[in-house]
Chain A
Amino acid sequence: MNSIVHMPKAIPINSPTVPVEMTGLTQPASKTEPSRWFLFLGRHRESTLIAVLLALIAGTALASPHFLNLQNLRDVLLNVAIISMLTAGMTVVMLMRHIDLSISSTVGITAYAVGSLFVAIPGLPVPVAVLAGVLIGCAAGCINGALVTFGRVPSLVATLSTLYIFRGIDYAWVHGGQINATSLPDSFALLANGDVLGVPVLVLIALAVLTVIGYYLKHYRGGREFYAIGSNPEAANLAGIRVSRRVFKGFVLSGALAGLAGVLWLARFGTVDASTAKGIELQVVAAAVVGSVAITGGVGNVWGATLGALLLGVINLSLVVLKVSPFWQLAIQGALIVLAIATDTLLSRAIARWTMKKRDHGEA
């Protein structure tokens, strides 16, 4: 790993022609800089999000003392578990400066397909069912990935199309029917409703999935490539990254997670028809951008996104507890998306300006 092979290290490079001011180029910030809190916000977005989350919980608890109980906690976690897995997939796609709007249709069609499998083969082992769901999701992801990489279709157009195409296929297939909980084996329902030491299995599954993806994104080359591609696609290509292949894999991963989410959706709710999970893509995009995953790629991580999902989940529950019309949900989501994008962009611009000013200051 030793670095500079062709360069004797002893020679000092500071030739006399380099003036002293040059060293000021990259000096650390002076402590008295007035806009330091900007930088703090920018560097500690997760902490900021946790603070908002706690404030929201405290506020709701003050308004309605019943709010803080185990059942509510369980409900929130169960609700967020599935969304957070989808958000992790969306994070991966958004890191690459793409978007996957088709996930809700993939969830719907997978849930129905796996339900139909149980109807057709009543004794189907649960792991096989899960695997089948993931594979269906992978297939959907492959279609999106192929359209974006091989077909060079912008991901917005590609996945907006498949959002409707997959849903249309779902409708054509289901034809007004539905799957009921009675068709599903009890062991399958345990996947969502069972407990291990009081913690719902579904939550444990989600935690495991999030941990694996989060760890992969941080600690493995493949994970870093997602960041690199979104940060600068051209540089990624020059660095020898197989960009198309990586983008394709990202979409397959997003599809696979949507497939898994579909299976778990079926396990959790039991009843599934053609309109299952319709519209949740907006909730997932909202969770990701609120969790400071940049829509322009290269910035964000699974934990931030999960916090975003959690925040949305708590908001939704608070609405129920405070007896506010559930029709607020969608409007709040929308407002949060706009707000999150605006603050994120303005914040990062302010930081960029600030760094630049610091640099120029050092130079002068």
Chain B
Amino acid sequence: MTTPATPPRLELRHASKRFGEVRALIDASLTLRRGEVHALLGENGAGKSTLVKILAGVHQPDGGELLVDGQPCRFARPSAAIAAGIAVIYQEPTLFPDLSIAENIYMGRQPLDRIGRIRYDVMEQAVEEMLVSLGVQLKAAQLVRGLSIADQQVVEIAKALSLNANVLIMDEPTAALSKPEVERLFAIAERLRDAGVAILFITHRLEEVFRLTQRITIMRDGAAVHFAATSEMDHDSIVAKMVGRDLATYYPKVDVVPGEVALSVNKLTRRGVFKNISFDVRRGEIVALAGLVGAGRSEVARAIFGIDPVDGGEVLVQGKRLQLGKPALAVNAGLALVPEDRRQQGLALDLPIARNASLTVLARLGRHGLISANTERQLAAHWGGKLKLKAHTMDVAAGTLSGGNQQKVVLGKWLATNPHVLIIDEPTRGIDVGAKAEVYQTLTDLVQAGMAVLMISSELPEVLGMADRVLVMCEGRITADIPRSEANEERIMAAALGQAEQPLRRAA
């Protein structure tokens, strides 16, 4: 692909970076060549984002070397990285919603006339051409507000190209895209690669790695641990390098005889989001809700819990009808929701662990309506002990904990309500291997004690390893209900893609 004589377009050697007490990067290396799509893999928290931010000039490394075209280099600010031809497409594009597409692309370097006025005509025409050549139906003068994430990414890509960027870093670009949108993005990426652009592609979906990339760098715990050509690797070897241990020990699944129905959802509908969702979850049962991101799984969970509005349908908890739309009532009825986005939805990061743990039980915790800090601390310590929470005291801010320990705080805060039904959305997203195993063990203990668990997960091994039954959603509908004995990756993926039972093109 490249002649050995030419230096790589971009090379990072042994970079390290720490934020206060947290060592985000310890020994990160990466070599990126022209005309390749290079996958950067690793679990959340492995240091990928920090690496990206160093390449983007957002952070400066504490140690290590950065070479651009073989020359040592240091990016003091984002503009320096841009000047070196490096552009980053973030998962959530950072655009100006109140400005037009053209202005977004040319902000800070608009074409000017002799007296410094912006040439809107020239600018819009250039952008118009660019959008046409990318094969998208967008107008240069259109405001960015209201564009879909996919379209916003296209704007970001157009911006990068207009900057003459020939290094494109895509940080989980496909996480929020629908299937056709992903395909459109891949088509664009392949064209750019063929034109000599170096692309660093970060993703959690291994099938995308095999579909698109030529080489792989795998990171674990802040260090780059493996470099290889994509063709030399397969699914299992990649996962093994990422987690650094055997997969089988992960899932402590035990068989529990399901009890009576704890959660019953009937024809739940929210217009434009999901339609006629019906299912039951029994005591002692883990039901997984699988499907692609954007299929409406989290939305169903939020609607059951009363956070999002619904247009129709009903929810029964322990046989009693739940009035929807009020989270407080859902809590009282015995529902618990461990949300998808821990930092945004799960925790008050600035508050101590104890304060977070008591949030769901404030009304029950008090004596004569008064709460003492001590009761709070005891509560947090009780659940912290059960969940093997690693923290010096219950008075440290939740934000200082690792992802796994944060997840335990969220779990603890919900278990403190003594729920009948636990809805857990992406239970192990962004947490390390050890904590994952502990979360799985906790789920197992809970169902053994008779709890009903609804688990939403995008990770198929997790779904297959933990669930008694797999419900699959596609475009707002449940397309399959597969018992554990019959579940496999092919069936789930087929249902998730909305295909009737047919073999799936498998990349691995």
Interface residues of A (CB under 8 A from B): 1-9, 11-15, 17-19, 21-23, 25-27, 219-221, 224-225, 227-228, 230-232, 234-241, 298-299, 351-352, 355-357, 359-360, 363-364
Cβ–Cβ < 8 Å partners of B99 in chain A: 224, 227-228, 231, 298
Q: For the complex formed, measure the closest distance between the CB of B433 and the CB atoms of chain A, giving whole angstroms.
A: 32
Q: How far is the CA of A19 from the CA of B183 in the complex (A)?
A: 9
Cβ–Cβ < 8 Å partners of A225 in chain B: 107-108
With A18-B183, A220-B117, A360-B272 given, is the CB distance from A6 to B98 under 8 Å? Answer: no
Q: For the complex formed, measure the closest distance between the CB of B435 and the CB atoms of chain A, giving whole angstroms.
A: 30
Interface string of B108-130 (1 = CB under 8 A from A): 10111000111000100011011
Cβ–Cβ < 8 Å partners of A26 in chain B: 136-139, 142, 147, 151
**Given A6-B166, A239-B78, A360-B272, 12 new contacts (CB under 8 A):** A5-B161, A13-B134, A19-B180, A25-B150, A27-B137, A224-B103, A224-B107, A230-B98, A232-B95, A236-B107, A298-B96, A298-B99
Which residues of B in the span 302-346 have a Cβ within 8 Å of any Cβ on A? none
From A4, A221, A235, A360, give the contact of B96 (CB < 8 A).
A235
Are A359 and B183 closer than 8 Å at their CB atoms?
Answer: no
Cβ–Cβ < 8 Å partners of A234 in chain B: 94
Q: Say if the beta carbon of B421 comes within 8 Å of chain A.
A: no
Cβ–Cβ < 8 Å partners of A227 in chain B: 96, 98-99
With A1-B122, A22-B180, A22-B184 given, is the CB distance from A352 to B137 under 8 Å? Answer: no
Which residues of B in the span 52-84 have a Cβ within 8 Å of any Cβ on A? 56, 58, 77-79, 82
Q: For the complex formed, measure the closest distance between the CB of A243 and the CB atoms of chain B, giving whole angstroms.
A: 11
Chain A to chain B: the 4 pairs with minimum beta-carbon distance, closest first: A13-B135, A355-B146, A240-B79, A298-B98
Cβ–Cβ < 8 Å partners of A2 in chain B: 126
Q: For the complex formed, measure the closest distance between the CB of A34 and the CB atoms of chain B, giving whole angstroms.
A: 16
Q: How far is the CA of A356 from the CA of B148 in the complex (A)?
A: 8
Are B118 and A224 closer than 8 Å at their CB atoms?
Answer: yes
Cβ–Cβ < 8 Å partners of B146 in chain A: 351-352, 355-356, 359
How many A-B pairs fall under 8 Å by CB?
146
From A1, A4, A240, give the contact of B78 (CB < 8 A).
A240
Q: How far is the CA of A6 from the CA of B165 in the complex (A)?
A: 9
16 inter-chain pairs at a CB distance below 8 angstroms, sorted by A residue, are A3-B129, A4-B130, A13-B135, A13-B187, A224-B103, A227-B96, A227-B99, A231-B97, A231-B99, A235-B94, A236-B96, A240-B78, A240-B79, A355-B146, A359-B147, A359-B148
Q: Say if the beta carbon of B205 comes within 8 Å of chain A.
A: no
B13-21, B191-199, B454-462: which lies at the interface: B191-199
Q: Say if the beta carbon of B364 comes within 8 Å of chain A.
A: no
Q: Say if the beta carbon of B145 comes within 8 Å of chain A.
A: yes
From B111, B116, B133, B148, give the contact of A9 (CB < 8 A).
B133
Q: For the complex formed, measure the closest distance between the CB of B294 and the CB atoms of chain A, giving whole angstroms.
A: 11
Which residue of chain B lies nearest to A8 when distances are taken between CB atoms in the complex?
Answer: B195
Q: How far is the CA of A9 from the CA of B129 in the complex (A)?
A: 9
Q: Say if the beta carbon of B393 comes within 8 Å of chain A.
A: no
Q: How far is the CA of A7 from the CA of B197 in the complex (A)?
A: 9
Which residues of B in the span 159-201 have a Cβ within 8 Å of any Cβ on A? 161-162, 164, 166, 178, 180-181, 183-184, 186-188, 191-192, 195-197
With A4-B161, A220-B117, A241-B107 given, is the CB distance from A235 to B82 under 8 Å? Answer: no
Q: For the complex formed, measure the closest distance between the CB of B139 and the CB atoms of chain A, giving whole angstroms.
A: 8
With A1-B126, A3-B126, A22-B180 given, is the CB distance from A238 to B135 under 8 Å? Answer: no
Interface size class of chain B, counting residues whose CB lies under 8 Å from the partner chain: 35 or more
Are A7 and B195 closer than 8 Å at their CB atoms?
Answer: yes
Q: How far is the CA of A225 from the CA of B212 in the complex (A)?
A: 37
Cβ–Cβ < 8 Å partners of B112 in chain A: 221
With A13-B133, A232-B96 given, is the CB distance from A18 to B187 under 8 Å? Answer: yes
Cβ–Cβ < 8 Å partners of B148 in chain A: 25, 359, 363
Q: For the complex formed, measure the closest distance between the CB of B344 and the CB atoms of chain A, giving whole angstroms.
A: 16
Cβ–Cβ < 8 Å partners of A357 in chain B: 272
Are A3 and B79 closer than 8 Å at their CB atoms?
Answer: no
Cβ–Cβ < 8 Å partners of B107 in chain A: 224-225, 228, 236, 239, 241
Q: How far is the CA of A232 from the CA of B99 in the complex (A)?
A: 10
Q: How far is the CA of A232 from the CA of B145 in the complex (A)?
A: 12
Cβ–Cβ < 8 Å partners of A9 in chain B: 133
Are B78 and A238 closer than 8 Å at their CB atoms?
Answer: yes
Q: For the complex formed, measure the closest distance between the CB of B207 and the CB atoms of chain A, giving whole angstroms.
A: 14
Q: For the complex formed, measure the closest distance between the CB of A133 and the CB atoms of chain B, giving whole angstroms.
A: 28
Are A6 and B192 closer than 8 Å at their CB atoms?
Answer: yes
Q: How far is the CA of A3 from the CA of B82 in the complex (A)?
A: 16
Are B191 and A7 closer than 8 Å at their CB atoms?
Answer: yes
Q: For the complex formed, measure the closest distance between the CB of B457 and the CB atoms of chain A, giving whole angstroms.
A: 25
Q: How far is the CA of A18 from the CA of B188 in the complex (A)?
A: 11
Q: How far is the CA of A277 from the CA of B300 in the complex (A)?
A: 56
Q: How far is the CA of A221 from the CA of B108 in the complex (A)?
A: 6
From B126, B181, B186, B197, give the contact of A22 (CB < 8 A).
B181
Cβ–Cβ < 8 Å partners of A6 in chain B: 161, 164, 166, 192, 195-197
Are B108 and A241 closer than 8 Å at their CB atoms?
Answer: yes
Cβ–Cβ < 8 Å partners of A364 in chain B: 272
Q: How far is the CA of A9 from the CA of B58 in the complex (A)?
A: 32
Q: For the complex formed, measure the closest distance between the CB of B252 and the CB atoms of chain A, giving whole angstroms.
A: 40
Q: How far is the CA of A174 from the CA of B145 in the complex (A)?
A: 50
Are A25 and B94 closer than 8 Å at their CB atoms?
Answer: no
Which residues of B in the span 234-256 have a Cβ within 8 Å of any Cβ on A? none
From B135, B139, B184, B272, give the contact of A12 (CB < 8 A).
B135
Q: How far is the CA of A227 from the CA of B137 in the complex (A)?
A: 26
Are B97 and A240 closer than 8 Å at their CB atoms?
Answer: no
Q: For the complex formed, measure the closest distance between the CB of B88 and the CB atoms of chain A, giving whole angstroms.
A: 8
Q: How far is the CA of A270 from the CA of B138 in the complex (A)?
A: 57
Q: For the complex formed, measure the closest distance between the CB of A21 and the CB atoms of chain B, giving whole angstroms.
A: 7
Q: For the complex formed, measure the closest distance between the CB of A297 and the CB atoms of chain B, giving whole angstroms.
A: 8
Are A3 and B108 closer than 8 Å at their CB atoms?
Answer: no
Are B110 and A221 closer than 8 Å at their CB atoms?
Answer: yes
Q: How far is the CA of A364 from the CA of B275 in the complex (A)?
A: 13
Q: How far is the CA of A157 from the CA of B183 in the complex (A)?
A: 49
Are B133 and A7 closer than 8 Å at their CB atoms?
Answer: yes
Cβ–Cβ < 8 Å partners of A21 in chain B: 180
Which residue of chain B lies nearest to A232 when distances are taken between CB atoms in the complex?
Answer: B96
Q: How far is the CA of A220 from the CA of B110 in the complex (A)?
A: 9
Q: For the complex formed, measure the closest distance between the CB of B10 and the CB atoms of chain A, giving whole angstroms.
A: 15
Cβ–Cβ < 8 Å partners of B108 in chain A: 221, 225, 228, 239-241
